[in-house]
Chain A
């Protein structure tokens, strides 16, 4: 019974989020544009997330290298470690881990902020002040997450590769130049571009889910907490679904 109820709630949520996303395209990105608020959100969502993305990226690159080394040594292809790590980070792990960390930080923050604004009637106050709250709050945040996540992913990948370079040098000596030459020679546009483009969709998902959860938050502090929590869970699940679709699509297009 509870399972059926959960499935029903999930399907209802999915339908409502699709409607919310539709509203974003029908009204959210039409003039008048809230350019100043968009820039402010890009600063908060992008620039202020950089230390966290950088730190996790560095650790991810370092740990991945250290974990891969024994297997490669066993097969006698330790020299291929930069290639292996480079492809893994750029094609899959970098975008997905960055998106998940980003969802954890930003979707919860947007969900809690908008939920709190909803509960304390700040969204109504905004509407009374002649402002379309959907444009001011939802459109700006969603556009900011859509634009900032690809940038953060590129930076996160670069820092992860630097972490991998440190990881390689823990057990052996490889020059910075040699490491990155090996990484870049192994990568093609077919590796980089699909991985880069899917991060726009990841960013959009984080923004729209976070905004939806906050904007439709129920009354009370419990409702705000629940919005923040479900924004992270749902956006993380959506990221995996988009990743699955993206991999299938690139496979169909022969880009894998």
Chain B
């Protein structure tokens, strides 16, 4: 198992991150770094604090202490304006997709564009929306409402919305949870395809071992609020540590 240290090649560096909710400690001195164009999967049991971790990275939750450096800037110290600029370079795929159910697919995809690229013309916006939907094979759903889509389609549209600003880093919160195995593999392939096309770095939160196997360049195990172990999928697969081995049973 390797220990990652901060280098100039890292797009995300997390150091001594602590987060408590009341008396409950969720993250305690958590450390992790992500290199450019690297997929890091954070593995952990339900309730281990994986979602809290990526919400701290994107600034939706404020950590109690520690540093989260994204593109060299510390997220907890950022002003709202700077945080918004950084967020334009980070995509976030929510576990439940979080598509706006009062908007069509087109409006859902236009929303972040209109917010971050205020000067974009209607033609530019339209082209980007169609490109994003074509990337996930759902160009024909552009005028549908989210309620008219299946679970797999919702995930793909959410992925298209995540990718529309062509982010340099993408945070995936359990991207395959609740999907059937076939659709889950399709989402894994899409993650890899989009990473290959746009050269993104990713943190993927999951406990789906097939997703880990298909997408991970490196795996980090979150246990008791700490980064318990790091390594490749193969390292983890051959580990005799019971805390790691239990994920392969």
Which A residues lie at the B interface, using CB under 8 A?
A: 113, 116-117, 120-122, 124-132
Contact = CB atoms under 8 A, between A and B. Distances in A.
Contacts of A131: 111, 115
Contacts of B112: 129-130
Contacts of A129: 87, 111-112, 115-116
29 contacts: A113-B102, A116-B101, A120-B96, A120-B101, A121-B94, A121-B95, A121-B98, A122-B98, A122-B101, A124-B55, A124-B60, A124-B98, A125-B92, A125-B94, A125-B98, A125-B100, A126-B100, A127-B60, A128-B58, A128-B90, A129-B87, A129-B111, A129-B115, A130-B84, A130-B87, A130-B115, A130-B116, A131-B115, A132-B80
A117 B102 CA distance: 10
Given A125-B100, A130-B87, A130-B112, 14 more contacts: A120-B96, A120-B101, A121-B96, A122-B100, A124-B55, A124-B94, A125-B94, A125-B98, A126-B100, A129-B115, A130-B88, A130-B115, A130-B116, A131-B111
A58 to B, nearest CB: 31
Interface string B82-116: 00100110101011101111100000000110011
Nearest to A40: B102
B188 to A, nearest CB: 22
Contacts of A124: 55, 60, 94, 98
B41 to A, nearest CB: 21
Interface in B23-60: 55, 58, 60
A23 to B, nearest CB: 14
A128 B92 contact: yes
A128 B96 contact: no
Contacts of B111: 126, 129, 131
Contacts of B60: 124, 127-128
A125 B159 CA distance: 12
Nearest to B60: A124
Contacts of B99: 122, 125
A250 to B, nearest CB: 40
A113 B101 CA distance: 10
A120 B98 contact: yes
Contacts of A122: 98-101
Nearest to A127: B60
A155 to B, nearest CB: 26
Contacts of A121: 94-96, 98
B87 A128 contact: yes
B28 to A, nearest CB: 24
A40 to B, nearest CB: 10
Nearest to A116: B101
Contacts of B80: 132
A124 B115 CA distance: 15
Nearest to A44: B102
Contacts of B98: 120-122, 124-125
Q: 9 closest A-B pairs (Cβ-Cβ)?
A: A125-B98, A129-B112, A130-B115, A121-B98, A130-B84, A128-B92, A121-B94, A130-B116, A122-B98
Contacts of A126: 100, 111
A218 to B, nearest CB: 14
Contacts of B55: 124
A190 to B, nearest CB: 43
A122 B92 CA distance: 12
A126 B99 CA distance: 10
A117 B90 CA distance: 22
Nearest to A123: B98
A136 B5 CA distance: 40
Contacts of B101: 116, 120, 122
A85 B143 CA distance: 51
A117 B55 CA distance: 17
Contacts of B115: 129-131
